[in-house]
Amino acid sequence: MHQSMIDIHMQVMWNRLISVVEEQAQTLIRTAFSTSVREAGDLSAGVFDLKGRMLAQAVTGTPGHVNAMAESVAHFIADIGPDNVFEGDVYVTNDPWKGTGHLHDITVVTPSFHQGQLVGYFASTAHVVDIGGRGFGPDAREVYEEGLFIPIMKFAERGTLNSTLLHILRNNVRESDKVVGDFHALAACNETGHRRLLDMLTEFKLDDLSTIGEFILKNSREATLERLRDLPHGSWHYSLDLDGYDEPVHLAAALTIGPEGVLVDFDGTSGMSKFGINVPLVYAKAYACYGIKCVVAPDIPNNSASLAPFDVVAPEGCILNARRPAPVAVRHVLGHFVPDLVLGALHQALPGQVPAEGASALWNLHMSVRPVSEQTGNKGAEILMFNSGGSGARAALDGLNATAFPSGVHTMPIEATENVGPVIIWRKELREGSGGAGAQRGGLGQMIEIEAADGYSFRFSAMFDRLSHPARGRNGGLDGASGKVELDDGTVLKGKGLQFVPVGRRLVLSLPGGGGYGDPSSRPAEAVSHDITHGYITEEQAVVYDGNSGARE
């Protein structure tokens, strides 16, 4: 067969493999109990070769899950041992340092056998609503307080479930049916991937994944290195200051680009916090690689080989390379700022290609809702709600409103949240004027107002940032608006930690906006008029565009 025909044949199989893992992910979405998975897509799914190298990932999923999972399967293979892998096995962990960064993420790995031979592994990750301990929040002082720690072990062996693990799990979490259900959903999605893979191997008359795997890895690495050779080579630096928990946090990065790879060094970053905002390096690396790939190689499929040229290092014990047993429950808050950090350095190498800073970190809200009186017989609920601020403006386009960059999770519908437990969401709307002014305006944040239903009260774990450090504009663009956490009577609340909402009061969240890009005076008059008409800014706020003589006509 001619080489071009072979390449086409291989490309067809590659595309088919991507569709296999996408169906794997969709199975998880359909069967998951957690609203963060079912409604927001807070998950990952992928297929791996015998060495634990990721060959393909589902399009559905978050970079933090996917890129961290890309490293975790090798840990499973090493810890389980090659002589202890059997057909019908299912493995599981939530080890933050061997999984995806905190105990609430459950990673499940399933070996895939074809005609009696091991041909690869399927892996998936999902965020569960509860894993015991203090609950989802930053207040713990050690990982032991944050919930049930499951080392790499067998969830099933030769098709028989680990009843001891399930018994321990049920007695250590608040929402046992939902959590156990999510474990089964993860195993089911891997099984779907396995069955679709067998169909593919049979259709293409393949004995295993070795041929297509080597084609994928070889071409992905070569394509990524070709992009790197065309980039400016050198080193650039950038830093961010963020709210932290009880004191500000400084993140620093040195980005070095060479023809054979990119190195990100977090030297100069603040040391670990005594609260649960610390980040295991595997999670920081996941988002650093994602930030670079967004600009350098966005169209190259994400797999072990396309990730291999990107290396990330950090001083052990800094807040982006936390040591066990540091608390890491809300590692996503600082982790979601890592793309802004590396993109700030990359902007110096590639001016005009990198957006302004955005709200970045999700404003996750974990609510524990309880009846005011135990005599009513009403039950409480654990509710997780994902909310997004505005993304940074780009060189030629406005920032996206209320959009989760870099996590990529979907907005959770109000109806889905209210269906989970007794809460009322009175308001969820774009926050006027929150996007930074610029030739391109930053994306808007949101206003969200929440109250417990009659007969209930609630406490919540705040895990918010950019209250004191707004998203910075770029190339003359102005900063986005800072976030605010309040009660409806004006009482100011903290950005992080467990807090109570009194009966009859409402929690009001004002999410931050993204930074603007370019001099505001160069924004076209029709764009300013459009913003005023649609309530994105007020006429009073339009004063920053007065350098454009037609801006307010």
Secondary structure (DSSP) of 302-332: PSHHHHTTEEEE--TTBTTSPPTTS--TTHH
pLDDT of residue 288: 97
**Tokens 């993420």 identify what position?**
105
DSSP string, 190-234: HHHHHHHHHHHHHHTT-SSSHHHHHHHHHHHHHHHHHHHHTS--E
- Using alpha carbons, list the distances in angstroms from residue 349 to 13, 355, 497: 37, 13, 38
Of the candidates 410, 399, 406, which has an alpha carbon nearest to the alpha carbon of residue 514? 399
Q: Are 256 and 262 in contact (CB under 8 A)?
A: yes
pTM across the whole model = 0.95
The span from the CA of 104 to the CA of 381, in Å, is 17
Instruction: Round to whole Å and give the CA distance between 498 and 136.
Output: 10
Q: How far is CA 154 from the centre of its chain?
A: 26
pLDDT at 467: 98
- Would you state the pLDDT for residue 381? 87
The answer to whether residues 220 and 301 touch, using CB atoms and an 8 Å cutoff, is yes
For residue 111, give every residue at least 6 positions away whose Cβ sits within 8 Å of its Cβ, in sequence order, or none.
85, 86, 87, 89, 118, 120, 121
Cα Rg of the chain (Å, integer):
24
For 354, residues 6+ apart whose C-beta sits below 8 A from its C-beta are 295, 343, 344, 346, 347, 474
- The per-residue pLDDT string of the chain (553 residues; one tens digit each, 9 = 90 and over) reads 556 666 788 899 999 999 999 999 999 999 999 888 888 888 899 999 999 999 999 988 899 999 999 999 999 999 999 999 999 999 999 999 999 999 999 999 999 999 999 999 999 999 998 999 998 999 999 999 999 999 999 999 999 999 999 999 999 999 899 999 999 999 999 999 999 999 999 999 999 999 999 999 999 999 999 999 999 999 999 999 999 999 999 999 999 999 999 999 999 999 999 999 999 999 999 999 999 999 999 999 999 999 999 999 999 999 999 999 999 999 999 999 999 999 999 999 999 999 999 999 999 999 999 998 776 667 888 888 999 999 999 999 999 999 999 998 888 889 988 998 899 999 999 999 999 999 999 999 999 999 999 999 999 999 999 999 999 999 999 999 999 999 999 999 999 999 999 999 999 999 999 999 999 999 999 999 999 999 999 888 888 887 554 443 3
b (16+ CB within 10 A) / e for 126-147: bbbbbbbbbbbbbbbeebeebb
Distance CA 453, CA 440 (A): 41
Cβ(495)–Cβ(509) under 8 Å?
A: no
Q: Which domains can be identified in the chain, with CATH numbers?
A: 3-220 (3.30.450), 355-553 (no CATH)
Within 8 A by CB and 6+ apart from 296, the residues are 224, 227, 228, 231, 262, 346
Which helix or strand (DSSP H or E) is residue 5 part of?
helix 3-31
Rounded Cα gap, residues 300 and 280, in angstroms:
26
What pLDDT is stored for residue 338 in this prediction?
97
Q: What's the rounded Cα separation, in Å, for the pair 286 and 17?
A: 22
The helix (H) or strand (E) run that includes residue 518 is none
Sheet containing 446-452: give its strands across: 423-430, 446-452, 507-510, 484-487
Separation in Å, CA 477 to CA 101, 440, 519:
34, 8, 5
φ, ψ of residue 373 to 5 degrees: the values are -120, 130
